[in-house]
A and B are shown apart, each in its own frame.
Chain A
Amino acid sequence: MKGIGKALARTPFAVTSKIGMSKKSVDPEFDDYHRHFTSLEQAAEKLIKDTKAFSEGVTSLFTAGAGFATHFSVIFQPIAGEFDLIGKHPDASHTILNVTKYETAMQELRELIGPELELIDTRIAGPAKELQSVMKLIRKTITKRDHKLTDYDRFNNSLTKLRDKKEKSLSDEKNLFKLEQDFEIATSEYEYINNALKQDFPRFMMLATQFIDPLFNSFFYMQLNIYYLLLEKMNSFADESKFDVSNAPGAQIAADYESKRSDAWSIIENLGIIKRIVSVCKSLSRLVQQTRAQNSQTGLGRQPSTATSVASGSSLRASAPPSRSVSSGGYKKAPPPPPSNSLQAAPPPPYTPSFSGGSTASASAAAATKRAPPPPPPLKPKPKPAPQIKYVVALYDFAAQADGDLTFNAGDRIELVEKTQSTEDWWTGRLNGAQGVFPGKCSLLFQCI
């Protein structure tokens, strides 16, 4: 209650002084100390925060380190049904043999670090928090001093005003006497607390510096010990499992890694199952190409019959994942030709412009023969009384594989020039002014609008 009364009494002065109507006293000496103190306050807070961040960093380093080791070692353990990983991957035997040891080492390390963290918590963070609570007491004293200063200025101002008044009434005289008394009290109270602060501040600053010395030293040794534990463990692990961990530049480590990297990367990158499904159409069309090649070799016009589609189906199964039976174990030595290469290496489909199957008036033969010469611009191919234009929408990307093929992307609207009943055939279409054939084989992949 008393506090509220005081606060109320101080308010008008706070307002007038703010707008510059009344005088406010300053003590530069005190202000200087005060500035210092404030920065120390902030420093203490930062110290607590950063010590915590450091501890958490260490905790997480060792937890994550152990976790990583665990999961990484699982990668190198046989999966159900696998056997003799080392036999299959002799080059990786060093890793395979040591991942478990590494896992153990990292687990041990995580346990070793516990006591160190405990120390940091009790011996560093603890005292820093103590310091902070001491500073809070001082902060309270400073607030009090500020209030006393306000009182002092307030009475001082009123007193000056009243003294300067030319004609004083009786009550003014009475007030003057009272104000003089109040001012005297305010002055002594303010001076007492201000002097006490000015006297103790230097002492406190000194103590703060003395405080930080042993704290810093302790923290330093705890920190050093953490690095030491890590170093020791790494060294003993490296010794035991014959890893060369002599300090090399980071770039060297990366370079060594690159040189040891096997072609497992490129083999994986060439696997079909890690490619987006779009590849289905591509592989399909590749197959089509093969079938087409076969057909043109045998010189048989394809019948759009179920029989051929079954046949090509089986040929597809036989050759679908072409030559990808990689011999395991020899990744580094004999890089098997990447599948895409082997496909390219296969001779491009020999489209002989043979009219041998002249009798087979099937549209497929027509399509095949059309492929041979650069397709004549069939702007008006047939006097068909069907001016109605049909479109198909491509569901997948298709890249031209030979002259006369039509290239398009999924979603393209292709004007249908010629199409047969069978999806086994190549259809002719027009897109962006270009005309060409594309696999009707991808019959599943097109939708007639």
Chain B
Amino acid sequence: MSWAGFKKSVNRAGTTLLQKTGQIERTVDREFTEEEAKYRIKAYWDAMRAMTSAQSRIAETLETFYGAADRSSEGAMAGHAYKRSVDDMDTTFTRELDVPFRTTISEPLGKMCAYFPVVNEHIAKRNKKLLDYDSARNKLRKLIDKPSEDPTKLPRAQQEHDECKEMFDMLNDQLIAELPQLLDLRVPYFDPSFEAMIRMQAKFAEEGYEKLSGVQRYFADNVRDDYAAGQLDAQVEGILQEMRELSICGGN
């Protein structure tokens, strides 16, 4: 059911439940929050994967550049070391963190999100039963006020009324008893996911940092300072300029 449709049906059916507990609105908010969290966490994970695989591809491209002229230069060695470390990162990430991520975060979130449509179904069903109950009650009242000539009509209406009431009460009582529980249980349910998330994020950062920083050994001593001073950018610019001055770039 759509969002608006859901709200409408709640309103239409009369809002006893809403008034009694205020739970429906909250349920709706929950559903929204958790759906959103699920969506974000998936994006987060996809982004990590995108990062590590883009790194690997960049490393591959570097090798093509180094391969163009001199395979044994210092730069080529560093490029090679870099490739090894980012590949390592990529495989570690998929091999070591993929499954834990699914167990600790993705699945719990997905599961909780999957519950909501069913809960909504219950709410919708309860609302429908309320309508049935209302109409059965009306019918019964009319028969009592103005008895029919057919003597079997009243007992039948009574029975129908009782059945509707029973059905409605059952659904209603169940919702009133269980909705607050479900909402309350979210806290212990999601609690351990938080720590797992923190640990995996920290692990991703730490491994990434450590594996990468090892590559620095292959750089010339001055590179770090040159980078900080913006020297590297100047070098890049200079080389581009030299390229442009080549006769084959002159158009003729």
Docked Cα-Cα span, A234 to B197, in Å, equals 11
Is A47 in contact with chain B by the CB < 8 A criterion? yes
Q: Smallest CB-CB separation from A216: which chain B residue? A: B62
Interface of B is mostly: helix
Is B51 in contact with chain A by the CB < 8 A criterion? yes
Contact, CB under 8 Å: A64 / B173: no
Contact, CB under 8 Å: B198 / A102: yes
A328 in contact with B205 given A196-B248, A273-B175, A321-B173 (CB within 8 Å): no
Q: Smallest CB-CB separation from B74: which chain A residue? A: A213
Nearest Cβ on chain B to A393's Cβ, whole angstroms: 18
Contact, CB under 8 Å: A40 / B68: yes
Is B187 in contact with chain A by the CB < 8 A criterion? yes
Is A57 in contact with chain B by the CB < 8 A criterion? yes
Is A168 in contact with chain B by the CB < 8 A criterion? no
A54 in contact with B58 given A67-B36, A253-B100, A273-B119 (CB within 8 Å): yes
Partner of B104, one of A46, A60, A230, A257: A257
A36 in contact with B55 given A72-B194, A91-B188, A250-B200 (CB within 8 Å): no
Partner of B26, one of A65, A80, A253: A80
Interface residues of A in 268-287 (CB under 8 A from B): 268, 271-277, 280, 283-284, 287
B173 surroundings in chain A (CB, below 8 A): 317, 320-321
Q: Report how many residues on chain B are interfacial, defined by Cβ distance under 8 Å.
A: 123
Partner of A277, one of B121, B169, B207, B208: B121
Of the stretches B7-15, B143-151, B239-247, the one at the interface is: B239-247
Q: Which of B54, B55, B125, B155 has the most CB of A within 10 A?
A: B54
Docked Cα-Cα span, A219 to B233, in Å, equals 11
Docked Cα-Cα span, A223 to B86, in Å, equals 11
Contact, CB under 8 Å: B185 / A264: yes
A220 in contact with B215 given A43-B64, A57-B50 (CB within 8 Å): yes
Nearest Cβ on chain B to A37's Cβ, whole angstroms: 8
Q: Smallest CB-CB separation from B224: which chain A residue? A: A221
Is A410 in contact with chain B by the CB < 8 A criterion? no
Contact, CB under 8 Å: A212 / B75: yes
Contact, CB under 8 Å: B57 / A50: yes
Interface residues of A in 108-132 (CB under 8 A from B): 123, 127, 130-131
Interface residues of B in 153-182 (CB under 8 A from A): 155, 158-159, 162-163, 165-167, 169-171, 173-175, 177-179, 181-182
A56 in contact with B195 given A231-B206, A273-B174, A274-B119 (CB within 8 Å): no
Q: Report how many residues on chain A are interfacial, defined by Cβ distance under 8 Å.
A: 135
A264 surroundings in chain B (CB, below 8 A): 185, 187-189
Is A75 in contact with chain B by the CB < 8 A criterion? yes
Of the stretches A7-15, A202-210, A341-349, the one at the interface is: A202-210
Q: Smallest CB-CB separation from A232: which chain B residue? A: B205
Q: Which of A217, A220, A306 has the most CB of B within 10 A?
A: A217
Interface residues of A in 300-354 (CB under 8 A from B): 306, 309-310, 312-313, 316-317, 320-321, 324-326, 328, 331-332
Interface of A is mostly: helix
Nearest Cβ on chain B to A91's Cβ, whole angstroms: 7
Nearest Cβ on chain A to B115's Cβ, whole angstroms: 4
Interface residues of B in 113-165 (CB under 8 A from A): 115, 118-119, 121-122, 125, 155, 158-159, 162-163, 165
Contact, CB under 8 Å: A257 / B196: yes
Of the stretches A137-145, A368-376, A382-390, the one at the interface is: A137-145
Is A267 in contact with chain B by the CB < 8 A criterion? yes
A74 surroundings in chain B (CB, below 8 A): 33, 37
Is A228 in contact with chain B by the CB < 8 A criterion? yes
Q: Smallest CB-CB separation from A312: which chain B residue? A: B166
Contact, CB under 8 Å: A212 / B243: no
Nearest Cβ on chain A to B120's Cβ, whole angstroms: 10
Partner of B177, one of A265, A313, A324, A331: A324
1/0 contact trace for A134-157 toward B, CB 8 Å? 100110110000000000000000
A249 in contact with B75 given A273-B179, A423-B163 (CB within 8 Å): no
Nearest Cβ on chain B to A440's Cβ, whole angstroms: 12
11 examples of A-B residue contacts, CB within 8 angstroms: A65-B44, A76-B190, A95-B190, A123-B236, A137-B251, A138-B246, A218-B233, A271-B178, A283-B174, A321-B174, A328-B184
